[in-house]
């Protein structure tokens, strides 16, 4: 069975396929992750339109029996050329695309996943170096909620106490959050203590504050270097636990 259908999509990846063609990987609102072939050489208009991070309405000719799709048209509504103008923007955008691909487009709520991805990339297009890092952390933290793996960092998993102005310890083995009293002695050499990731109150407050916000508001919420490093280690550890691996693109 073959058919042509329209999708709302964003290009996450584009790779060469043969001598003159390319293969694009799309996140669509209708069916999640789809791969499609783009025919034509480097001067092809359609190939130029299907560059990474472009988004809009695409038309795909699909043969489901052969598991084959061809990109037949692309009405680009957002080009995001600014993502290619600064190294930090490019690397942060790549980390977002890799995260979306590695988690199969969010696991089912594709329209929300597409909206969050597009919104973050829109904000990142004009962001400075430091803001790019915060936008990535914000995206990964919210993405963990889409995947259903976002841990509770407001109360202790052991005693149920609300954690206010004291450190929190995240257990990398079971994904639980522990208060200062319930966490084992982190200075003692033990397998359980070594599996704990410490979050200071400033880091935790930042994550709780920005989680419900859109990415366009993140410029208002700064972090010191210590909190930034803790937040990045924390959110990537949460996602690593679900993926069973760390993505190299997170480490830029």
User: pLDDT tens-digit profile of 201-214?
Assistant: 999 999 999 999 99
Give strand pairing partners of 73: 59
Please say if the pLDDT value at position 193 is more than 60.
no
The tokens for 100 are 């979306």
Of the pLDDT bands very low, low, confident and very high (cuts 50, 70, 90), residue 31 is very high
Q: Are 62 and 68 in contact (CB under 8 A)?
A: yes
Who contacts 170 (Cβ-Cβ below 8 Å, separation ≥6)? Answer: 151, 153, 176, 177, 178, 196, 197, 198, 199, 234, 237, 238
Helices (DSSP H) in 41-154: which residue ranges?
45-49, 87-102, 110-124, 129-146
Please say if the pLDDT value at position 186 is more than 60.
no
Please say if the pLDDT value at position 252 is more than 90.
no
The residue that leads in pLDDT, 184 or 57, is 57
Give strand pairing partners of 57: 8, 75
The tokens for 179 are 């208060």
Please say if the pLDDT value at position 188 is more than 80.
no
Of the pLDDT bands very low, low, confident and very high (cuts 50, 70, 90), residue 199 is very high
Long-range CB contacts (within 8 A, 24+) of 25-28:
25/101, 26/58, 27/100, 27/105, 27/110, 27/113, 27/114, 27/117, 28/58, 28/110, 28/114
Q: What is the mean pLDDT of residues 10-32?
A: 93
**By mean pLDDT, which of 60-74, 86-100, 136-150, 234-248 is the weakest?**
60-74
Of the pLDDT bands very low, low, confident and very high (cuts 50, 70, 90), residue 187 is very low
Q: What is the mean pLDDT of residues 157-170?
A: 92
**Mean confidence (pLDDT) of the chain:** 92
50: nearest Cα among 19, 25, 20: 25
Q: Are 177 and 152 in contact (CB under 8 A)?
A: yes
Structure confidence at residue 2 (pLDDT): 63
Of the pLDDT bands very low, low, confident and very high (cuts 50, 70, 90), residue 137 is very high
Distances (CA, A) of 149 to 31, 72, 166: 22, 37, 23
pTM above threshold 0.85:
yes
Q: What is the mean pLDDT of residues 196-225?
A: 96
Q: What is the mean pLDDT of residues 57-73?
A: 90
Could you tell me where the beta strands, DSSP code E, fall in the chain? 2-17, 21-28, 32-38, 55-63, 68-78, 168-171, 177-178, 196-199
**Count of other CB atoms within 10 angstroms of residue 107:** 13
Residue 154 and residue 89: Cα distance in Å, rounded? 31
Please say if the pLDDT value at position 110 is more than 90.
yes
The residue that leads in pLDDT, 222 or 191, is 222
């Amino acid at each position: 069975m073959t058919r042509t259908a329209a999708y709302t999509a964003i290009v996450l990846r584009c790779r060469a396929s043969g001598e003159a063609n390319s293969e694009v990987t799309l996140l669509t609102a209708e069916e999640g992750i789809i791969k499609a072939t783009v025919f034509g050489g480097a001067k092809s208009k359609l190939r130029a339109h299907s560059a990474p991070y472009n988004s809009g309405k695409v038309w795909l000719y699909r043969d489901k029996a052969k598991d084959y799709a061809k990109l037949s048209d692309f009405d680009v509504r957002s080009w995001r050329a600014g993502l290619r103008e600064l190294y930090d923007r490019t690397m942060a955008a790549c980390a977002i695309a890799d995260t979306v691909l590695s988690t199969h487009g969010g696991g089912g709520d594709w329209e929300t996943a597409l909206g969050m991805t597009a919104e973050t990339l829109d904000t990142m297009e004009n962001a400075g170096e430091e803001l790019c890092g915060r936008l990535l952390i914000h995206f990964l933290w919210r993405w963990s909620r889409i995947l259903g793996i976002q841990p509770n960092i407001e109360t202790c998993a052991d005693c149920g106490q609300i954690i206010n102005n004291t450190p929190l310890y995240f257990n990398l083995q079971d994904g639980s959050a522990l208060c200062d009293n319930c966490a084992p002695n982190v200075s003692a050499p033990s397998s359980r203590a070594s599996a704990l990731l410490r979050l200071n109150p400033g880091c935790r407050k930042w994550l709780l504050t920005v989680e419900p916000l859109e990415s366009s508001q993140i410029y208002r919420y700064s972090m010191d270097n210590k909190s930034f490093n803790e937040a990045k280690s924390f959110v990537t550890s949460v996602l690593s636990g679900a993926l069973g691996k760390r993505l190299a693109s997170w480490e830029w």
